[in-house]
Amino acid sequence: MTKASLLDLVPVRQGSTISTALAEAADLARHAESLGLSRYWVAEHHGMAGIAGAATSLVIQHVAAATQSIRVGAGGIMLPNHAPLVIAEQFGTLAALFPGRIDLGLGRAPGSDQRVAMALRRTLDSDPNAFPRDVVELQSYFADDGRTGIRATPGAGANIEMWILGSSLFGAQLAAMLGLPYAFASHFAPDALDEALAVYRRDFRPSAVLDRPYAMAGFNVFAADTDEQARLLASSMEQSFVALRTGAPGPLPPPVSGYRETLGAQGRTMLDHVLSCSAIGSRETVSREIAAFVERTQVDEIMLTGATFDPEARKRSLSIAIEALETASGVAA
């Protein structure tokens, strides 16, 4: 059975505040937990006015403290921004505070530009082996195997579920080589989805962590009582994507009826592409689209995402999505 989880970018709505966004994230995570979802993830982004998850480990602590049993983690930590020892200590602390509930998804994109990387006091290494080396170093700290000559405290022996994230073949190859679970960012970068999953499954090497491949893929869901209402909800994120692609990102805007019709052909084509792994509509529409996606990808887990301007509408959307999951053959929350 395919599991379902939630990715939240902790959106900051126009006219709202970061404090409110963080409170809404905790409320959404409690709702996800009540629906029986497997995990709640937050992603690291920097220098973006509409995303409040930059201090990712702190947001994870905030959400984990507000919930009881749902797994909470990073989807992901952008490892090029950090010394592996620091991440080992941060997530070792989280694992000590919330035993058996912490996930650590690792990505190699900076989640920022060169200026932000410099402000983080990190140099973006062009060596393609830098990210794999950092992942292996981080594994060593958690395993407490002595290979680094340094004992991470906290961190050594921490029970953390580590994932490799990606939107290309690179992450799929690394996850397969290390025998780790793999998550593909198809919710915004769908191009290499099928090939990456095929490479991961073909090249997977069993490890102490996994004896067989375990894959997850991102999927946007905007669900409402009718298709028309769902399309209105989705217009907030559509506006955000257009703003990001045109170099003017900002807080999450309110929905606009008929927004797509205000765009030129190029804008509509861009949205159709970037949101190709999405379901926008009523329960029946969402159930059909999710079932088709799972049938196509054969993923073990689907990571639902999709920000709406109204937090209550987002909770309602998630509830409808779970109802849709229950009617989609072979899919369970």
- What band does 328 get if pLDDT is binned at 50, 70 and 90? confident
Instruction: Kindly indicate the confidence band of residue 125, based on its pLDDT and cuts at 50, 70 and 90.
Output: low
Predicted confidence at residue 326, as pLDDT, reads 83
Contacts of 253 (CB under 8 A, 6+ apart): 14, 236, 239, 240, 243, 309
Strand partners, 103: 73, 161
Structural domains of the chain in order of their starting residue, each with its CATH number: 3-327 (3.20.20.30)
Those residues whose C-beta lies under 8 Å from the C-beta of residue 133, and which sit 6 or more positions away, are none
Q: Are 76 and 91 in contact (CB under 8 A)?
A: no
From 23-32, 140-149, 324-333, the region with the lowest mean pLDDT: 324-333
Q: pLDDT tier at 112 (50, 70, 90 boundaries)? A: low
Q: What is the rounded end-to-end Cα distance, in angstroms, of the chain?
A: 9
Tell me if residue 11 falls in helix, strand or coil: strand
Average pLDDT value over all residues in the chain:
94
Share of the chain above pLDDT 70, in %: 95
Q: Is the pLDDT of residue 124 over 70?
A: no
211-261 pLDDT, tens digit per residue, is 999 999 999 999 999 999 999 999 999 999 999 988 889 999 999 999 999
Question: What does the alpha-carbon distance between residue 311 and residue 319 come to, in Å, rounded to a whole number?
Answer: 13
State the amino acid at position 20 in one-letter form.
T
pLDDT for residue 330: 54
CA-based angle 209:214:219, to the nearest 5? 135
Average pLDDT over residues 28-34: 98
Residues ≥6 apart with Cβ < 8 Å to 48: 54, 249
pLDDT value of residue 145: 96
Q: Is the pLDDT of residue 35 over 80?
A: yes
The answer to whether residue 119 scores a pLDDT higher than 90 is no
Share of the chain above pLDDT 90, in %: 87
pLDDT of residue 115: 78
| pLDDT tens track for 48-70 | 999 999 999 999 999 999 999 99
For residue 96, pLDDT beyond 70:
yes
Does residue 116 or residue 43 have the better pLDDT? 43
pLDDT for residue 19 is more than 80: yes
Average pLDDT over residues 183-193: 97
What is the mean pLDDT of the segment spanning 19-28?
Answer: 98
